[in-house]
Each structure stands twice: as C-alpha cells, then as structure tokens.
A and B are shown apart, each in its own frame.
Chain A
C-alpha cells in the first residue's frame, strides 16, 4: 500500500467499477412496450403496493422507489402502473453479468441491476478502468437495449458514489488525487451506511457534508454513532478496504405482503404471519439455509413501520420454529392500536449455507 501524500488518501491501486442499470425495471418495461416510452412509469402494484421502480419521467414528479403507490399517484396523476415481470428482469440481469464476466471473474452483484467489478487485473489486459466501463456500458446498450451508469475508483465506496454522479447513461471517475475533495463536498446522506435517521442526527451536530464529518474526532464519532463511527472516520479519509467478493453470501431470507385491505382482526393477522413464515421457511429450504434471528416487520395503515426481532439460541430447525418465533413477536404488537397494511418476516444471522441441512436431525411428526 502506498502511503498517500498529504492530500492523497492511502490507496492500494485497486480499480473498482460499480455498474448500475438506469431505472432498471421501468426501463425494461419501456423497452418492451412502446406505449410506455416517454411516459411516467411505475413498476409495482397500483392498488396497495409500493413503487418497485420509477422511470425517469416519473422521477421528475418526485416518484421514488419504495414509495407507496397511492402517494406516487398523488405526486403524479399521469403515472402508469405496470406489474413487475421478475422473470424478464432476471433474464436481463443474467445477460449483463455475462457481459461483466468477459472482463473479470471478480463480480459482486448487489441486486439484479447493480454490481461491483474488480478490474485491477482484467481478462482483457486493459490498463484503463474508465475504458472498461465505457465498453461494458456500450455492450449492455447494444445487447439489451438498456442504459447503465458506471462509477470508477480505487474502492467500493467511491465507485458507488461515482456511478450515481452522472446518472443516467453516464460515468464518473474518482481518482485518488480527487477523492478527498470529492468526499469533502459530499452530503453525508450519500455516505454508505448513513440513512435518513443518522443523517438527521448528524445534522443536529451541524454535520452536513463529508468535510464537516472529517472535522470530528474518532472519539466523538464512536461515542455518538457507535461502531459505525470508526467506519465514517475511515470513509471521509477515502479509506474503504472492502474487497469485491464474488461469493458474497445472502445475509437474510425474507418475505412480506402488503394487504389489499388493512387488517384489524388479530386472528387474521396471526394467520397471515403464519403464512408468511411458512413461505420464508420454504425459501430457506430451497436455499439450503436457516438463521437464528427472526424479524417481524409491521407497517400500519398510517405508514408508520416497526420491526421486532428475536435471536434464537440455535438456528430455526423447522418451519414451526420460525412460525412460533414470528407469532411470539407478533404478540408484542397486540393489542392492536392501528390497522395493519403490511407484514413481513425475515430470517437473518444465517448459518453458512448448511450443506447438511436436509440430513440434520429432523423430528418426524405424528400424522394427526
């Protein structure tokens, strides 16, 4: 590792590209349906759902992904809702991963539409990561008809920030010598790991930008933000040693449902939680995994959302374990104060994908 000059962050000469498809689901829909082109489009359920993705036309009206559909429609009455076609998105996702794989095996997909690539040593022997990013984006456009944006830098944090900088259909390079100035001007909410709540806390301390954050001592940051404090302290100094991990494991398995009508009857809510837990267990089994932490998510009719979680002494061994834990968490929500619009169950602290899960001691049940 090179020790940086005073205005140079310590860096190790890695070349990381973050590729992010532009308004992915919505763009796929516009590609496949000429009527949707040029119109504000939201992918998701109109009745009770949330916006899974919004086209750029829709974003102009303030429609954002994860926004409740009703809110989105209020923002943009012209909005056209399209049902998601995940099979199609998965197909496109496979296509773009195939394109990435022509350049490097070090691909870390974050979701269907974005991935980190480590091209420090690439299969084409190309020297310039910028050039690789340009080629990849061109290949994506010719082969899928969709645009992507890319960010290039020497670590993941900056590459991701960079891909967002010239969106859509653009790319940005942040070389080490420009990193510190770039970070200093960056609003804190753009920092990886800083959500709205943390951003609001930081604002209370007068911390609005990377520059403000850099003025804080490590001691203050860890005292105020706990473990993340040290992480922020590194980030503002341009330090992020996280490797691009092609084998990145799933962190959680979950499922949630937004109801057509809000639920108010406890028995009904229990039945739904049971069904969702059952579904999640099915996913665990298909993924040959299980976990110790069970999280119940409840979104009320007024969109206030709470989560309750419990960590079991041992990973859930059967669907009943999961069901029991979920229902126990649900009891903490009763007596019900507000109608419920969404319920979700997630299993995390996953056991390393257990190869022997199917062979693990399993209690047979009486055929009652």
Chain B
C-alpha cells in the first residue's frame, strides 16, 4: 500500500473515525484504524464492536492495499504535522510497519493485519430514508440532554427514534428520558420512513452522529433494522447496534390536560434560575417556584441558611400555588426553547409538568417536580 494525501483531508477523515476508538482496549486491534487504499480513494474504518465509522477521502494512490495502525497515535501525528503538508502512507511488507512521512518527519508505526479487523455487517438494514441534516440536528439537540446515564435501566441510555401517526400524519419522533424528565421532538416523517421499526440509539452513537452532522451536506441517509441503524453522511458512514430493549410507554406520562398554564420570558427565566441556584452547592439544587397572578417567585435555600430569591413577571391569572424543581432540569429545558417565551402547564406539586415552546409545536418537555 502506498499513497499520498493532503494533511487536512487526512486529519478530517481520521478525526471522523478516531473518536469511536476506546482509549483502553482488551482486544489490541480495536485500538487500530483500518486503512484501505483503492484507486483514487482511501478508506478509514474504526470500531468499538458496537459502532463502526467508515470515511473515505480522495488520495493519490500508487499502490492499493489494506493495513491497520494505532488510531490515536496516527491521528496525533497527523494533527501535529505542519499545515499544507503532503503525507505519504506506505506499507510495503519489507518493513513490517506503516511509514508516515511528511517533509522531514518520518514515523514508523506497528501494524496488525487487515484481515483481523472486525467489520460490521449491514445485513437486514431497511431501505434508505433521506432526512434533512438540520432537521436531524434539531431532533437530537432538543432531546439528548435527557438521555439517562443510569445503567440500571439500560433501555433509557439512548434516544428512542420512531415513527408515530397522530391525527393521520406520520411523524418521526425522538424521545429521551432519565426517569425524572422527558424530552420529545418530532418532525414530519420523511418519505420511506413509515413502517420503520422504532430503535433506541445508544448515547455514544448519538454523540458521534451529531459530530458527523457538523460536516454533513444538506441531507443524510438513514437505514434502520430492529438490531442496527446506519447513517450515511456523504462519504462517511456510521453503523451502530441499537439498544436491545423496549422503550417504556412514555405517552402516558405526558400530561394532556394540566390546567394551570403560564408563560414567562425564557431568557429572563433561565438567567433568574441560574442566578438563584448559585446559592446552593448541592448537586440537585431545588428551586421553589411560587406562582401567583402576574408573578413568579423563585427561591433557593442552602444548608447553611443562605437564601436567594428572584421575581419574574409572568402571564398568569389563576390560583396561586407552589412547586419545586431541580434547577438543572429547568436550565436544560430553558436552553432548548427556541422562542422568546416558555409555556409551563402545571397540575399539582407532585405531578408531571409540561413545558412547551410556543414557537415550535414539535417539542414537548415533561418535568417531574421535587418535593419542597
């Protein structure tokens, strides 16, 4: 194998795949990236056995062939090479190492045979669904903060992507929950998505998909099977196993007729919560929200009897009430509200509260209160 490639192109391709590679591996070859030189292209593959990213980029290939080399080391070397450098990657077999050469820099890296590199099969994947990159970004950004990190309920450790039909309209919907709050975002179902199985896409996969979306074109393609999901971003492709479990029936925890409805300026609200929470060092800072006609008072107390209070003007003229929330949860939701106002719909201090974005009917947030 012998090829030359411009440093920026090499860095970008390696950057796309190397983050899949775990820092510590019990299987040595999983620390490596597979390089495949074919005619005018070179392919880069990395995997952690649950997810695989493959990227291709044009290169000046003098000799085709495949070999694997340590992914992180190769990435770091390329990153430190001077901008604009042409990088030659050579593996001849005479020297049983991969030679990386650019200008006066030369590195020899240990290799492992390409034949041992695990490749994820694409068997059983459904037909290609085309989705706008911006729309997929929206689905992910509005929901992923609520993905659970609690491993006891492993089926919540991912984003539940599925197609629902409501009011006769099919929608592609993303839902995440950690058991205390839930985030839902949806879009009109893209063509060909009807009938696709719902899948729980692991947190790490979502993170990688989101990263690749930054470099993607206007649309991407997605293929789904009950076991796997594949995203194609131009020349880069990500294939991942999905979480083998069933996502709970989340619909019934979304309140339908909470009566106490108020609107508040979202930016002012977020700033007030953020300020008032400073007083408490606890992890789950509890904010007491006292609501009355036209006014919301946020109070946080700490263990040492310190206290912070913020008052906000709101659009509300119902009965006064009090309710408590984890400050973090309020900030996470406020951070995803696109419009200038946030709409809260309360029932009582122990029941789910619905938070809506008046400018975006396709998102819903459910927050469970804290007892205060």
Contacts and interface: CB of A to CB of B under 8 A. Distances in A.
Interface of A: 274, 313-314, 317, 320, 323-324, 327, 359, 361-368
A103 B371 CA distance: 47
Given A313-B283, A361-B372, A366 B150 contact: no
Interface residues of B, number: 27
B370 A323 contact: no
A184 to B, nearest CB: 50
A368 B177 contact: yes
A323 B182 CA distance: 22
B366 interface: yes
Given A361-B370, A361-B372, A366 B350 contact: no
Contacts of B286: 361
B70 interface: no
A201 to B, nearest CB: 36
Given A366-B180, A368-B179, A361 B324 contact: yes
Given A274-B152, A327-B152, A364 B283 contact: no
Given A363-B326, A366-B352, A324 B150 contact: yes
B368 interface: yes
A366 B284 CA distance: 17
B23 to A, nearest CB: 16
Given A314-B283, A361-B372, A362-B370, 15 more contacts: A314-B282, A323-B152, A324-B152, A327-B152, A361-B286, A361-B324, A362-B371, A363-B370, A364-B368, A364-B371, A366-B182, A366-B352, A367-B252, A368-B177, A368-B179
B181 interface: yes
Interface string B28-40: 0000000000000
A323 B150 CA distance: 10
A327 B180 contact: no
A191 B259 CA distance: 69
Contacts of B152: 274, 320, 323-324, 327
Contacts of B253: 366-368
Contacts of B350: 364
Contacts of A314: 282-283
9 contacts: A323-B152, A361-B372, A364-B180, A364-B368, A364-B369, A364-B370, A365-B180, A366-B366, A367-B253
Contact of A365 (B179, B250, B372): B179
B351 to A, nearest CB: 8
A108 B284 CA distance: 38
A327 B152 CA distance: 9
Given A314-B283, A368-B179, A363 B151 contact: no
B248 interface: yes
Contacts of B150: 320, 324
Interface in B17-72: none
B292 to A, nearest CB: 22
A14 to B, nearest CB: 38
Interface of B: 150-152, 177, 179-182, 248-250, 252-253, 282-284, 286, 324, 326, 350, 352, 366, 368-372
B368 A361 contact: no
Nearest to A274: B152
Contacts of A323: 152
B370 A366 contact: no
A327 B179 contact: no
Contacts of B252: 367
A146 to B, nearest CB: 46
Contacts of A363: 180, 284, 326, 368, 370
Contacts of B282: 314
Nearest to B26: A335
A320 to B, nearest CB: 7
A367 B253 CA distance: 6
A366 B177 contact: yes
Nearest to A323: B152
A324 B369 CA distance: 22
Contacts of A313: 283
A364 B177 CA distance: 14
A365 B180 CA distance: 5
A313 B282 CA distance: 9
A362 B248 CA distance: 23
Contacts of A324: 150, 152
A317 B284 contact: yes
Contacts of B370: 361-364
B284 A327 contact: no
Nearest to B301: A361
A361 B368 CA distance: 12
A367 B179 CA distance: 8
A158 B286 CA distance: 51
Nearest to A359: B371
Contacts of B177: 366, 368
Contacts of A359: 371
Contacts of A368: 177, 179, 248-250, 253
A366 B370 CA distance: 12
Nearest to A358: B371
A366 B371 contact: no
A212 to B, nearest CB: 48
A327 B248 CA distance: 23
Contacts of B181: 366
A361 B285 CA distance: 9
Counting chain B CB atoms within 10 Å of each CB, which of A359, A365, A368 scores highest? A368
B114 to A, nearest CB: 28
A362 B350 CA distance: 10
B352 to A, nearest CB: 7
Contacts of B179: 365-366, 368
Contacts of A364: 180, 350, 368-371
A59 B252 CA distance: 62
